[in-house]
Amino acid sequence: MAEKEPRKISDLIRERFAEPSDIGKDRLSSGTHATQLAHRSHRHFKNTPVAEETLQLLYACALSAPSKSDLQQTAIIHLEEPVARDFIQRSIPAMPWISSAPVFLLFCGDSRRIRDVCEFHNTGFAHDPLDALVNAVADSAIVMQNFIIAAEAEGLGCCPISAVREITESLADFCALPDGVFPLAGLCVGYAEDDPAISVRLPTRVIVHKNRYDASSLADEIAEYDRRRQQKNPYRHQRQADKYGLSDNYGWSSDKARQTSTTDRISFSSHVRKHGFQL
């Protein structure tokens, strides 16, 4: 029997974008690039604890991320005690994978720490509130992504939980978040028990522009992407069918157009305005 040819980076790229590619055809599918290309969100976990030493390693890797002006505006809260886990599970009941994950982390934007530093030195914090919010969001998002890459390299699976922003006030109260600190996303972490399909992404040519933004071919690209994605990641349900009806050609763009047609997470916006960001 002939030996199976080893997988290449190009194989992973073809799976990710569901279209032909020769990029990385001469490179074996190993290392950081392979880990990133094979990323999936896991929602089922083994009942195996994650060692504290492993978590400390992942924290160190995560916090090695770039930081705007070295301000380091991130806080990570490990919801570890039974009462904390019970709170987060009850607060977001539609996501049972929160209860099955051995570890649940809350990644927060933290503008409070640098404001305290300003007080220590009697300078006062004078950054524009919108820019301060964006900086803390960006820092925290990059740190969380760094954590995910490190966790996957360690053989762990992760699932980000943006729904924490639907319970901003109660979560902030439970975790005693001071003004200037806000929940950005939760993260389920553990040894994965599932093997979900790769989520097909928009092609790089739609996202990457040279010199000037160009969306002249967007309609055609979206239509073709819908077709490719529907073959690999079909939707089992159609959003808001009572409002928009059932579509014979329901794809990614239909789903996202419906998803973003309603207001969402106003409580988060209200919270940051009341607690440290006078937008």
**pLDDT (tens digit per residue) in 224-255:** 999 999 999 999 999 999 999 999 999 999 99
pLDDT at residue number 119: 96
pLDDT for the residue numbered 2: 57
Domain that holds residue 89: 52-196+263-274
Q: What is the CATH number of the domain that holds 90?
A: 3.40.109.10
Q: Which residues pair with 159 in a beta bridge?
A: 188
Closest CA to 272 of 133, 174, 147, 88: 133
With 90 as the cut, is the pLDDT of residue 3 above it?
Answer: no
- Give the percent of the chain with pLDDT over 70: 99
Using DSSP, state whether 156 is helix, strand or coil. Answer: coil
- The better pLDDT of the pair 265, 210 is held by 210
What is d(CA 75, CA 192) in angstroms, rounded to the nearest whole number? 25
Local structure of 146: helix, strand or coil: helix
Residue 101 lies in a domain: yes
Place of tokens 């020769």: 22
Q: How many domains does the chain have?
A: 1
How far apart CA 140 and CA 132 sit, in angstroms, is: 12
- Residue 144 in any domain: the answer is yes
Instruction: With respect to residue 225, please indicate whether it lies within any of the assigned structural domains.
Output: no
Model confidence band, residue 170 (pLDDT cutoffs 50, 70, 90):
very high
Q: What is the pLDDT of residue 4?
A: 76
Query: How is residue 235 written in tokens?
Result: 């939707």
* CB neighbourhood size of 41 (10 A): 16
pLDDT tens by residue, 31-77: 999 999 999 999 999 999 999 999 999 999 999 999 999 999 999 99
Do the domain assignments include residue 71?
Answer: yes
Q: What pLDDT does residue 92 have?
A: 97
Q: Residue 279 pLDDT > 90, yes or no? A: no
Which residue, among 200, 220, 192, 28, has the nearest Cα to 97 in the 3D structure? 192
Look at residue 61 and tell me if it is in a domain: yes
Q: How confident is the model at residue 13 (pLDDT cuts 50, 70, 90)?
A: very high
Domain assignment of residue 67, yes or no:
yes
**pLDDT for 264:** 84
Q: Is residue 81 domain-resident?
A: yes
State pLDDT tens for residues 251-276: 999 999 999 999 888 889 999 999 99
Decide the pairing of beta strands 181-190 and 103-110.
antiparallel
- Arithmetic mean of pLDDT over the chain: 96
Name the amino acid, one letter, at 150. A
- In a domain? residue 75: yes
- Six-digit token pair at 176? 């005693």
What number is the average pLDDT over the span 133-142? 97
**Phi, psi angles (nearest 5°) of residue 49:** -65, 155
